[in-house]
Amino acid sequence: MSDSFVYEFLIKTDLKNEPILEKRLKIAGILYNTLLKEGFRRIKLLKQSKKYQLAVKTSKGKERQKLFIESRKFYKFSDYELQKFAIQTKNSCFIKDHLGSHICQKLATKAYLVLNRFLINKGGKPRYKKLSQYSTVEGKSNKTAIRWKNKKAYWKKLELDVIFDKKDKYGIQKHALLSKVKYCRIYKKNIKNKVKWFLQLVLEGKPLIKEKNISTKKGSIGIDIGPSTIAVVGEENAFLEPFCKELEPLHLKKKKLQRKISRKLRLNNPENFDKKNAVKKGAKNWLKSNKMKKDQQKIREVFRKLKESRKRSHNKLANRILKFGNHIKTEKLSFRAFQKMFGRSIGFRGPSSFLSKLKYKAENAGIKFDEFSTYKTYLSQICHNCLKREKKPLSQRWHKCTCDIKPVQRDLYSAFLSRFVENNTLNIDQAKKAWPGAHSLLEQAMLRLKQIVSGKNYFASFGLNEKLNQRQSDSLVKDRSDLNKAKNVVRRNSESFGRFKSTAVRTP
């Protein structure tokens, strides 16, 4: 499958084409819900069959796989069969006047993917969509259904104009318009309580990389990412900082609105709650005041802003890291396990999606991206100087050893060691060779962090509250005037650090 990327345009809508788009989108939602219903019916019959039940009891192997395939074929549960049902449904009713075959087939594929995940226990039960919430349709090629031609979008007899970027400072729009269109996608988004329509062109090739984001530096980059913090160490640069700190104000605003809505819901519907303020079981009628409806509109807008801000923050941080070198190395973490321990932090910061974004950008820029096992390397436990391995408690945020190595912040130390991992094995000789110059680099990163959080709340996982022995404070770099000034500022404000905002415990 060839490389692809997406470019987005804002559609010019008016009183003629907007009602048509709304109508077609609602019809797409009706068909999608119909496909889900049919899929649930086939899954129910499939699970009740003797072959499927025998396959579940059979041990893993070719015979078990064969029984699953035969049972799926008999009850016609596959992407092809669901597409066939979608076309039959479309041709037998009013849907054929509004949606093409390719769009119906795409809807069937979308429904099959979520149903299949539900069947193999890799996802929850798919939910039916409210027709007002269904927001996207797409084709399979640029020849039928939604087409892009002569800088306009065509969908049956509907002609859609788009808004172009007249400046196009970096030439991204020009690059997109010169690329081959695979297929088109139309979706709507509610921005500040106003419906906006967008056209996405799925294009063949790779996206254009801005010149300012192209790195000429060589060398490995070590990353240690957690639920709330991120540490990055290159050959010449290093930093430790809160992960997606720009999202904090929006997150607090969201929490306040959620509490406000929850209070109003309880006041307006006391009969739906028990003595412990838990929702009673069974069908209920909910009374919502006009003020509560306005608050719900506000919180929807906050969620949208959180999503867009998170994307911008991820892109900005990824571009910053790509300038550090040409080979990224990081631990392969289980974010599903992180969700159980730090669900809220993972939910609004999205470290997993950030790593996916970083990998995508690195591959497009020709930069290597490697993930290694945490069980084979145990970077937070080992000392590269004396090879002593000691399992540290999660509350211990500094690497301290009885040998001559000076204390160093745990996350930065793990990021430093990540640079020397090859084939899931830490290269001790390379780490020892690079350590003399790297230690001062890590101390500078800690000084910058102290300047950032001075007088503010900060995460306990930074380890700024831990008492270290005197040799660490004596080891700070003294031959640079700017670092001396920074150190003096930190010393003057050392007692002004606030209480810990939260804990972001790292992996052991």
Question: How many CB atoms are located within 10 Å of the residue 354 CB?
Answer: 22
- What average pLDDT does range 251-268 have in this prediction? 94
**Exposure on the CB side of residue 17, measured as CA atoms within 13 A:** 16
pLDDT at residue 500 greater than cutoff 60: no
Alpha-carbon span 385 to 417, nearest angstrom: 11
- Nearest-5° Cα angle at 153, 148 to 155: 105
Alpha-carbon span 420 to 377, nearest angstrom: 11
User: 395-398 contacts: CB < 8 A, separation 24 or more?
Assistant: 395/505, 396/466, 397/460, 397/461, 397/462, 397/463, 397/466, 397/506, 398/463, 398/466, 398/468
pLDDT in tens, 322-365: 999 889 999 988 888 888 888 888 888 999 999 999 999 998 88
Residue 440, Cβ density class (10 Å: 0-12 exposed, 13-18 middle, ≥19 buried): middle
pLDDT at residue 169 greater than cutoff 90: no
Alpha-carbon span 297 to 376, nearest angstrom: 49
Of the candidates 320, 131, 287, the one whose C-alpha atom is nearest the C-alpha of residue 221 is 320
Alpha-carbon span 36 to 425, nearest angstrom: 47
**Binning pLDDT at 50, 70 and 90, where does residue 6 land?**
very high
pLDDT at residue 436 greater than cutoff 90: no
**Binning pLDDT at 50, 70 and 90, where does residue 188 land?**
very high
Structure tokens at 238: 């290093």
Q: 420 and 427 in contact (C-beta within 8 Å)? A: yes
pLDDT in tens, 61-97: 899 999 999 999 999 999 999 999 999 999 999 999 9
- Within the chain, what is the greatest distance between any pair of CA atoms? 82
First vs last C-alpha separation in the chain: 39
pLDDT at residue 481 greater than cutoff 70: no
Alpha-carbon span 496 to 450, nearest angstrom: 11
Residue recorded with tokens 């020009």: 174
**Exposure on the CB side of residue 45, measured as CA atoms within 13 A:** 12
**Binning pLDDT at 50, 70 and 90, where does residue 466 land?**
low
Q: Three-state DSSP class for 389?
A: strand
Alpha-carbon span 434 to 429, nearest angstrom: 9
pLDDT confidence of residue 493? 37
Q: 386 and 403 in contact (C-beta within 8 Å)? A: yes
Q: 104 and 82 in contact (C-beta within 8 Å)? A: no
- What average pLDDT does range 414-440 have in this prediction? 89
Percentage above 90 pLDDT, the chain: 57
Question: How many CB atoms are located within 10 Å of the residue 327 CB?
Answer: 17
| CA dist 206 → 7, 172, 366, 471 (Å) | 11, 11, 11, 51
Alpha-carbon span 208 to 160, nearest angstrom: 26
Alpha-carbon span 127 to 113, nearest angstrom: 13
Q: 487 and 476 in contact (C-beta within 8 Å)? A: yes
pLDDT at residue 462 greater than cutoff 90: no
Residue recorded with tokens 């804990």: 503
- What average pLDDT does range 121-149 have in this prediction? 92
- Nearest-5° Cα angle at 443, 230 to 223: 25
Of the candidates 175, 169, 205, 214, the one whose C-alpha atom is nearest the C-alpha of residue 319 is 214
pLDDT at residue 164 greater than cutoff 90: yes
What integer best gives the mean pLDDT of the chain?
86
pLDDT confidence of residue 55? 92
Q: Distance between alpha carbon 126 and the CA centroid of its chain, in Å?
A: 20
Of the candidates 409, 381, 390, 384, the one whose C-alpha atom is nearest the C-alpha of residue 472 is 409
pLDDT in tens, 288-310: 999 999 999 999 999 999 999 99
Percentage above 70 pLDDT, the chain: 91
What is residue 150's DSSP assignment? T
pLDDT confidence of residue 306? 94
DSSP 94-113: GGGGT--HHHHHHHHHHHHH
The most confident of the ranges 212-221, 252-261, 271-280 is 252-261
**Binning pLDDT at 50, 70 and 90, where does residue 175 land?**
very high
DSSP 394-437: TT--EE--SSSPPPEEHHHHHHHHHTTEETTEE-HHHHHHHHHH
Question: How many CB atoms are located within 10 Å of the residue 12 CB?
Answer: 11
- Strand-pairing partners, residue 38, are none
**Binning pLDDT at 50, 70 and 90, where does residue 395 land?**
confident
b/e 185-194 (16+ beta carbons within 10 angstroms → b): bbbbeeeeee
- Strand-pairing partners, residue 7, are 201
What is residue 130's DSSP assignment? P
**Binning pLDDT at 50, 70 and 90, where does residue 402 land?**
confident
pTM for the predicted model, two decimal places:
0.82
- Count of residues in the chain: 508
Residue 253, Cβ density class (10 Å: 0-12 exposed, 13-18 middle, ≥19 buried): middle
**Binning pLDDT at 50, 70 and 90, where does residue 465 land?**
confident
